[in-house]
């Protein structure tokens, strides 16, 4: 039955798609968002979708704002978070404050103003490196890159070559950045506290989300949006390491559907689900293909041959659990979405802050 759904961080990229999907199903949607400048720069056009929701401007760390937003809500989608692996390594207090203290404030308010179900946005970053196998097929869930290793790829305990494979939810967490730590805390707090007070809880571990509407001027957003901003400003996409690292890119429309499934599927209660495409692509391939889609094939990616602290080499999703329990099936393929994304980007204006972000990382000794 349609009811009132509160989305924290609902004015952001993913939140607006989730809100639109909920509205299409007849729900009353309420959004709590602080509209931080890094995501919502001054002068940016107001999202017309916000005219169709109840909007509460406030910080998720502010108890009064949270309590006001929760009044009368039946279900909750918790998206509010600072996002960015690199930035989290030097803005430590900010990331932990928003992501973890903010979640704590939200859960504290839920003790008095309970909802039926909470769905929290977790992240693939909590896995660290994804799952690998050795040449004889042995699963390796604790692959790491060690100082002094030759090459970019993790190796096995005996120095043997490892092959990346799809990562399931059963892989233990390996928290390689402050961002990853903060998202894991968000997830665990929600799954622990909500059921203690009679509320259902679900966590979605999102992989690399992309689509029209991303904050192109935010140098810590999704990698495809960062590439788009560079290309839009006539600059080569900047690719760390050698570009062969592999990621799983999932369209935001598929992510929005996953949140609705998680909000309504009875069997999802207490579950953790990977939300990705189930396929992988190298970062260099993404940069090259998207440059072609924007008719800027002349702007070949700049391969830095340098690594950022907190980055991992390979991670892509095993989505079998989400398929079996939620009925989640990605409908949008990465390759088929390039032209649509490129058309949207070509109509935008973006401030290219990628070089500034790299200098900030270098200043803090986080690029080697």
Residue range 274-317, pLDDT digits in tens: 999 999 999 999 899 888 888 898 989 899 888 877 678 999 99
Instruction: Kindly state the tokens that stand for 5.
Output: 């759904």
Banded model confidence at residue 355, pLDDT cuts 50, 70, 90: low
Q: Identify any residues that bridge with 275 across adjacent strands, giving them in sequence order.
A: 206
Cα–Cα dist 195/184, whole Å:
17
128: region left, alpha or beta (phi > 0 left; psi from -120 to 50 alpha): left
Average predicted confidence (pLDDT) for the chain: 89
What digits encode the pLDDT tens for the residues 165-183?
Answer: 999 999 999 998 999 999 9
Instruction: For 8-17, write each residue's pLDDT tens digit.
Output: 999 999 999 9
| C-alpha span between 186 and 173 (Å, rounded) | 14
One-character DSSP codes across 162-180: -EE-PBPTTSPP---SHHH
Q: Could you tell me the pTM of the whole model?
A: 0.91
Rounded distance between C-alpha atoms, residue 46 and residue 10, angstroms: 13
Pairing of strands 249-251, 208-210: parallel
Output the CA–CA distances (angstroms, integers) from residue 258 to 9, 29, 77, 267, in the order listed: 17, 17, 12, 14
Q: Are 121 and 204 in contact (CB under 8 A)?
A: yes
Decide the pairing of beta strands 132-133 and 117-123.
unpaired
pLDDT in tens, 210-220: 988 877 655 55
| pLDDT exceeds 70 at position 35 | yes
Query: What CATH number should be reported for the domain whose range is 4-131+166-363?
Result: 3.40.50.720
């Amino acid at each position: 039955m349609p009811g009132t759904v509160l989305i924290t961080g609902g004015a952001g990229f993913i939140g607006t798609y989730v809100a639109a999907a909920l509205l299409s199903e007849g729900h009353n949607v309420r959004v709590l968002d602080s509209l931080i400048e890094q995501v919502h720069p001054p002068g940016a056009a107001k999202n017309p979708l916000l005219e169709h929701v109840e909007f509460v401007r406030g910080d998720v760390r502010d108890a009064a704002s949270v309590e006001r937003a929760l009044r009368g809500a039946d279900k909750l989608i918790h998206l509010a978070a600072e996002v960015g692996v690199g930035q989290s390594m030097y803005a430590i207090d900010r990331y932990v404050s928003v992501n973890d203290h903010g979640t704590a404030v939200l859960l504290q308010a839920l003790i008095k103003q309970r909802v039926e179900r909470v769905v929290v946005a977790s992240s693939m970053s909590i896995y660290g490196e994804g799952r690998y196998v050795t040449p004889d097929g042995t699963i390796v869930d604790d692959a790491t890159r060690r100082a002094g290793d030759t090459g970019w790829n993790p190796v096995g305990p005996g120095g043997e070559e490892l092959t990346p494979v799809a990562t399931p939810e059963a892989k233990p967490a390996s928290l390689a950045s402050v961002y990853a730590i903060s998202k894991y805390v968000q997830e665990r707090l929600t799954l622990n506290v909500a059921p203690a007070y009679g509320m259902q809880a679900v966590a979605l571990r999102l992989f690399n989300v992309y689509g029209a509407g991303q904050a192109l001027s935010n140098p810590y957003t999704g990698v495809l949006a960062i590439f788009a901003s560079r290309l839009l400003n006539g600059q080569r996409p900047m690719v760390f390491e050698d570009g062969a690292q592999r990621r799983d890119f999932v369209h935001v429309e598929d992510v929005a559907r996953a949140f609705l499934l998680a909000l309504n599927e009875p069997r999802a209660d207490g579950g953790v689900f990977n939300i990705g495409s189930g396929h992988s692509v190298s970062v260099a391939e993404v940069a090259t293909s998207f440059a072609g889609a924007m008719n800027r094939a002349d702007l070949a990616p700049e391969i830095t041959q340098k690594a950022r602290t907190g980055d991992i080499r390979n991670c892509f999703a095993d989505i079998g659990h989400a398929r079996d329990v939620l009925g989640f099936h990605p409908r949008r393929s990465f390759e088929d979405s390039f032209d649509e994304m490129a058309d949207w980007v070509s109509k935008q204006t973006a401030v290219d802050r990628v070089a500034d972000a790299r200098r900030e990382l270098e200043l803090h000794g986080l690029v080697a």
